[in-house]
Amino acid sequence: MIEIKKLHKSYPIGKDKLHVLKGIDLHIKEGEFVSIMGSSGSGKSTLLNIVGLLDEHDEGEYYLNGQLIDNLNEKKAAILRNKFLGFVFQSFNLISYKTALENVALPLYYKGMARKERLKIAMEYLEKVELGPWANHLPNELSGGQKQRVAIARALVTQPKVVLADEPTGALDSTTTDNVMDLLRDINNEGMTVFVITHEEEVAEQTKRVVRLKDGVIISDELTKTKTI
């Protein structure tokens, strides 16, 4: 599903360059549930953003669903994101003046789906995250956990191949964290590839594979033993 070979990325800082990813090799197959861990500044988000086509890499190769990603124009990238990828962010990134339902339906709008159908599907997904009664609430009327569930519903609504989540539980307490992780696991059990960044060991333990990053290189990549939870 995701295949990365010798991937490099640096950010220009004034005249200098900050080398963030220094040759990453990573292969994630369809249906995997992977978490990335690492200290702050190790390049986790950078990696996820490249995988999510929100940013571009400098060197190396990246195949998404078998397609080589190289000098994509923004239009093609947008279509690929809409088709293959769903995003969940630490800060939820809901659109403040749209209701929960409209937020969830938005990716379908960009898919070109008719409004009625769109809202029907969005409602199904909201119900899936147990937020049916909150469909017509604005984001600022929802708790953090509820917002994140709305965001997850929005990430899932296009039935993407991969869900990318950058610290989805970073702003949540432990109970809501468990809720969100349960949701992600359910999604994974349905066959979707899930790729999560986290700081918390407990969160990482709930995934099936943990990749550890340090200073832009992968220092370990192993399957979790406690798969039974």
Partner 1 sequence: MKFLFDSDTWQEIYGSIRKNKMRTIITIIGVLWGIFLLVVLLGAARGIENNFNKIFGSFATNSVFVWTQATDTPFKGFQKNRRFSLTLKDVEILKSEYSEEIKLLAPRNQTSNLIVKGFKTGTFQVSGDYPVLDKIQKKDLLYGRFLNGNDILSTAKVCVISEEMYKQLFDKNEKPIGQLVKINNINYKVVGVYKRSQGVSFDGDSAYIPFTTFQKVYNTGNRIDWMMITANEGIDIEQMEADILLTLKNLHKVHPEDKRAFGSVNLGVEIAKITGFLTGMQFLTWFVGIATLIAGVFAIGNILLITVKERTKEIGIRRALGATPVSIRRQIVLESIFLTTVAGMLGIVFGALVLYFLEMLVGQGDDAVLVNPTVNIPIILIAFLTLTILGTLIGLIPAYMATLVKPIEALREE
Site of interaction with ligand ATP (CB under 6 A) = 11, 13, 18, 20, 38, 40-46
Q: How far is the CB of 118 from Mg ion (least distance, A)?
A: 31
101 or 172: CB nearest Mg ion: 172
Which stretch in 78-86, 193-201, 205-213, 218-226 sits in contact with partner 1 by CB under 8 A? Answer: 78-86
**Torsion 191-25-38-227 (CA) sign:** positive
In DSSP terms, which residues pair with 212 in a beta bridge? 37, 220
Looking at the Cβ atoms of 23 and 132, the one nearer to ligand ATP is 23
Size of the site for partner 1 (CB under 8 A): 29
Q: Give whichever of 102 and 204 is closer to partner 1, judged by the CB atom.
A: 102
Backbone angle region of 171, left / alpha / beta, with phi > 0 → left and psi within -120 to 50 → alpha: alpha
Tell me which residues in 10-49 interact with Mg ion (CB under 5 A): 45
Window 145-184: residues binding partner 1 (CB under 8 A): 154, 158
Tell me the C-alpha distance between 193 and 161, whole Å: 6
| Shortest separation between residue 161's beta carbon and partner 1, angstroms | 14
CA–CA separation, 33 and 39 (whole Å): 20
Q: How far is the CB of 175 from partner 1 (least distance, A)?
A: 27
Site for partner 1 in 88-107 (CB under 8 A): 89, 93-98, 106-107
Q: Residues 202-210: contacts with CB within 8 Å, 24+ apart?
A: 202/174, 202/177, 203/35, 203/169, 203/177, 204/35, 204/37, 205/229, 206/181, 207/33, 207/34, 207/35, 208/32, 208/33, 208/34, 209/32, 209/33, 209/34, 209/35, 210/34, 210/35, 210/36, 210/37
Residue 36 or residue 156: which is nearer to Mg ion going by CB? Answer: 36
User: Which residues within the stretch 26-55 sit at the binding site for partner 1 (CB under 8 A)?
Assistant: 49, 52, 54-55
Provide the binding-site residues for partner 1, judged by CB under 8 A: 49, 52, 54-56, 74-75, 77-79, 81-83, 87, 89, 93-98, 106-107, 109-111, 115, 154, 158
